[in-house]
Amino acid sequence: MSKQDGSGRLYSPPGADDTGANFLHVDMDAFFVAVETLDDPSLKGKPVVIAHRDGRSVVSSASYEARRYGVRSAMPLGMALQRCPHAVVVPPTFDRYRETSAQVMEVFRSITPLVEPLSIDEAFLDVRGVRRLWGSPGEVASLIRRRVKEEIGITCSVGGAATKHVAKMASTASKPNGRLIIPAARTQEFLDPRPAGSLWGVGPKAAEALAGRAIHTIRDIRETPVEVLARVLGATQAQRIHELANGLDARGIETERVEKSVSHEETFSNDVSDIAFLNAEVLRLADRVAVRLRRGGVEASGVAIKLRFADFQTITRSQALSEPTAVGQRIGQVARELLASVDMRAAVRLIGVRAERLVPAGSAALALWDDDGEWKQVEGALDVLSEKFGTGSVTRAAFLNSDQRRPPERPPEESD
């Protein structure tokens, strides 16, 4: 089924069985670094870290040479440079990454129309209907890797399997610059020995809790009764991971993905303890979230906030709404109430507002009166002005006197 090289990477040799492996997961290798290396070939083979050059910056991406020193995405730049002092720090150019991502996705869509982008640097493809054009799943995977290299100039890793979940696991196991195809009949053989934490939905804390019950591998999960897993993880998550451990995943390709949440975050140049400023910031972020909701034709049924303190501890708080809304004033009001419920034991490094459980606009039953009617008119007028004069041309008076310097919005994240 697969072979292993000296680095532990799994790969499928040419002509390997690919029966039933109809889903492919394609993941660019160290995408941000790869794009920067296209523009500056002198970076090739060096430990490169993509990050803004300031003391508050975090790593957006790292080359595989830097990763050998323990450098990872989302790590504070200072920590990354402690681990790899000779790393080359390159400021990110996100417009360039988006441009290259669009080119990559066009390569995918030229092979099959059934493409589901997951992020800026990865996507699922359903290749069942293209056998006569391009060959078997394994041959399509090889074609994708070859075309991305020849047409874009970067490398990618491709996993193939009978389900999306296993395909993504296969691409991860084959990185970097590899191809691993799991035939349908050998799905369980591939899954069983892998760590429990490699399953989607099993984070570090869940993996630790499972290990406390001597559940270390996917096989252990598969052989553990769901009711036992539920005592550790809760009923819903236990059922989900038990199905995944058995190779069950009914999801198909979503060519038009519906956002399940919309959020905006801000990382401050200096840690903030001023509650009045944080309240104003929450409202500003809520306004931005609401604009995106209205543009997307959706409303939020829940609101959440995210806080990261100076010691990097991160917490979230959430609340369901009595009625769905896309009004910034309402979202901000709830977000402020959530903020007031937090024990502010330390200064804040990052704050975020998220709209959750999105539903189509107007899908809720109409109430006899609308408490947000006036604000809907105000914010609707602001939308019109923003379209005419540009985003940010009109803002709340409360934001005009803030002299807190804000860094650019947090960029899109690259997958590892």
Catalytic residue among 122, 281, 299, 414: 122
CATH number at residue 200: 1.10.150.20
Contact by Cβ (8 Å): 1, 16: yes
What is the residue range of 366's domain? 261-399
What are the tens digits of pLDDT across the range 21-49?
A: 999 999 999 999 999 999 999 999 999 99
Nearest of 114, 97, 111, 113 to residue 152 by alpha carbon: 97
What confidence score (pLDDT) does residue 241 get?
93
Q: Cα separation of 311 and 291, whole Å?
A: 32
CA dihedral 124, 50, 353, 406 (to 10 degrees): -150
Q: Cα separation of 222 and 195, whole Å?
A: 12
CA dihedral 374, 375, 379, 384 (to 10 degrees): 0
Asked if residue 235 and residue 129 are part of one domain, the reply reads no
What are the tens digits of pLDDT across the range 349-370?
A: 999 999 998 888 765 444 433 4
Is 95 a known ligand-binding residue? no
Asked if residue 173 and residue 71 are part of one domain, the reply reads yes
Q: How confident is the model at residue 375 (pLDDT cuts 50, 70, 90)?
A: low
Asked if residue 206 and residue 153 are part of one domain, the reply reads no
266: annotated active-site residue: no
Is 121 a known ligand-binding residue? yes
Place of tokens 């790590």: 75
Q: Over the chain, what is the mean pLDDT?
A: 86
Token output for 90: 């390159």
What are the tens digits of pLDDT across the range 44-80?
A: 999 999 998 876 788 999 999 999 999 998 889 999 9
Query: Does any domain span residue 254?
Result: no
Domain boundary, last residue among 183, 208, 236:
183
What are the tens digits of pLDDT across the range 300-331?
A: 999 999 999 988 888 999 998 888 899 999 99
Asked if residue 169 and residue 205 are part of one domain, the reply reads no
CATH number at residue 145: 3.30.70.270
